[in-house]
Chains A and B, each alone.
Chain A
């Protein structure tokens, strides 16, 4: 079957070009400023470019021993949290989307509490819980509190995914004798795949940049990258440290973007089942 295209190939892709230009201006421009800053020693108005380029802040940032440690800690935290969150939340999302059980709506709704209520008033209570569990200053304590923060994303978004799956296809597969697990693996999961992929990506990135929970539970032993960034940028007119750290992180971010493109690019999944 010929691939359906809404945009005729021979003509130039004006929509795409227009979007690309607008987005480049709006998104790339501030980022270029941040990147320039990372390589600046002195930069004052009214000059368009810094008066003095330099790598002074790179050497100062990279010579701190805790920079690499904090990045690896953040990565291992984000990986652990995302994996555990996927394991406990995806089945729950499936249950919320498809199954009937008592209190379903209220329980589904309760996850909003994690995000909607600001944490400042809860710090003493939450710290009390973790102190009782003896998880302060501990890697797994930080995993636990960051895990709680991911529940909303990892349940609400996949629920939308599972509900968007075409039931008739599942029934058709069951009619030809596929087991429920086979149906789930081959029909449900691929169709829900892009949205779940979006949830996974969001969870990973949000956990990586999460600060409050990691600080409250992890200090003084667990140093994550955003905590380090706060101590660098804290009340400093010198923004270069933050710029350098940001730029360092853009390399792994680029890989995460490639991952996103593969999984979330909706066309490939839907097309396979529409043909």
Chain B
């Protein structure tokens, strides 16, 4: 007993000695949060922040990396701070979505970029247009990653119809993730919906969803997915995220998956995927891509600095680095990137990537998939 008491009190004393001092948000320190992968944080640490700090002496950027639920927790905290008129200790959210947390948009938590007079605002790619509280600076596209030892590149499917035929001819060799858990599966589902609706992405806009017209359009896409479901791995299994799909491909459990281009490239570089992994894009209509969204809370202590930072990442210097260092797609229109870069990367990065609108279409696509496609009574 005595020894235990001693151990406990020793632990408490040690703990007290290790207490960090209370700290508050700094003026001139931007608290930056992201839910994106480590390669993005490395990009910011190595390239963006040094350049920004060099251009704005006296400013520091505190990079905090977490996952999507973690980011939403801090946004919820900022929402509570708005109501209590207190400092949220957050200035910039990368990889965010202004519609979350529920109620934030109505409460006016996020800055409306269309009213902020950012010098580079007009350069943004119109395809990336969403509600004015979301702003972008980089994009990426989903393509198909496959094992070239099991499928030779000349036989790789080039159109969606080819892909469906290949999936059915090779049961158990294809898998995609649930659309809400990762964009690679999500954009595959979107591609199926486009296929079923005449391959016209412009039919789906941010503000033109209505249950009566929208549901049948989504259902036609779901029918295609239900059709291929029994030919997927384990007769209709769906992984829980982008990385789990990549893990299965690296384990050789499947031959082909949809994957984000930058994730696939970085996986090949780090050896997670073998060098014999091939990448292919569909030629009739590419798999969808997406633009990463940033938001800025109106009550951040360093809002003005955060806006400056957002403006800074839209400059040509950083946008070129997005292409060369990150392997991504610029958030500005191609006119605002140097011509040489455009030509050099024209093969890898197509002229435009089709996108799927956030908001009601996205919500109903995801929920509809869970209700229509996911339950598979054929699976024992």
Q: Is the CB of B31 within 8 A of A237?
A: no
Q: What's the Cα separation between A127 and B83 when bound, in Å?
A: 11
Bitwise interface map of A from 125 to 147 toward B, beta carbon under 8 Å scored 1, else 0: 10110011010111110000000
Given contacts A237-B250, A237-B267, contact A231 B77 (CB under 8 A): no
A115 CB → nearest B CB, Å: 18
A124 at the interface (CB under 8 A from B): yes
B67 at the interface (CB under 8 A from A): yes
CB-CB nearest in chain B for A84: B12
A172 CB → nearest B CB, Å: 21
Stretch at the interface among B15-23, B218-226, B280-288, B311-319: B15-23
Q: What's the Cα separation between A80 and B13 when bound, in Å?
A: 9
Given contacts A79-B12, A222-B20, contact A123 B77 (CB under 8 A): yes
* Residues on A with beta carbons closer than 8 Å to the beta carbon of B253: 45
CB-CB nearest in chain B for A52: B271
CB-CB nearest in chain B for A231: B65
Q: Is the CB of A139 within 8 A of B22?
A: yes
For chain A, give the interface size range. 35 or more
Q: What's the Cα separation between A237 and B81 when bound, in Å?
A: 35
Q: Which chain A residues numbered 244 to 275 have a C-beta less than 8 Å away from chain B?
A: 259, 263
CB-CB nearest in chain B for A263: B4
8 Å CB contact of B77 from A42, A216, A221: A216
Stretch at the interface among A13-21, A70-78, A152-160, A163-171: A70-78
Q: What's the Cα separation between A134 and B20 when bound, in Å?
A: 16
A83 at the interface (CB under 8 A from B): yes
Q: What's the Cα separation between A212 and B72 when bound, in Å?
A: 11
Central interface residue in A80, A136, A263, by most chain B CB within 10 Å: A136
Q: Is the CB of A227 within 8 A of B66?
A: yes
* Residues on A with beta carbons closer than 8 Å to the beta carbon of B271: 41-42, 52
Q: Is the CB of A79 within 8 A of B38?
A: no
B235 at the interface (CB under 8 A from A): no
B376 CB → nearest A CB, Å: 26
CB-CB nearest in chain B for A81: B15
Q: Is the CB of B23 within 8 A of A221?
A: yes
Q: Which chain B residues numbered 42 to 83 have a C-beta less than 8 Å away from chain A?
A: 62, 64-67, 69-70, 72-74, 76-77, 79-81, 83
Q: Is the CB of A237 within 8 A of B86?
A: no
A102 at the interface (CB under 8 A from B): no
Q: Is the CB of A235 within 8 A of B37?
A: yes
Q: Is the CB of B89 within 8 A of A80?
A: no
B274 at the interface (CB under 8 A from A): yes
CB-CB nearest in chain A for B271: A42
* Residues on B with beta carbons closer than 8 Å to the beta carbon of A216: 73-74, 76-77
* Residues on B with beta carbons closer than 8 Å to the beta carbon of A220: 31, 33, 62, 64, 89-90
8 Å CB contact of A219 from B12, B86, B89, B267: B89
What are 11 contact pairs spanning A and B, CB under 8 A? A72-B18, A75-B14, A80-B12, A123-B72, A124-B101, A128-B80, A139-B19, A139-B20, A216-B73, A231-B64, A237-B267
Beyond known contacts A123-B73, A234-B35: 20 more, CB 8 A cutoff: A41-B271, A44-B274, A45-B253, A83-B15, A123-B101, A124-B76, A124-B101, A127-B79, A128-B84, A131-B80, A137-B24, A138-B22, A189-B1, A215-B73, A227-B70, A231-B38, A231-B65, A234-B67, A237-B263, A237-B267
B residues with a Cβ closer than 8 A to A are: 1, 4, 7-9, 11-12, 14-16, 18-20, 22-25, 31, 33, 35-38, 41, 62, 64-67, 69-70, 72-74, 76-77, 79-81, 83-84, 86-90, 101, 103, 241-243, 246-247, 250-253, 263, 267, 270-274
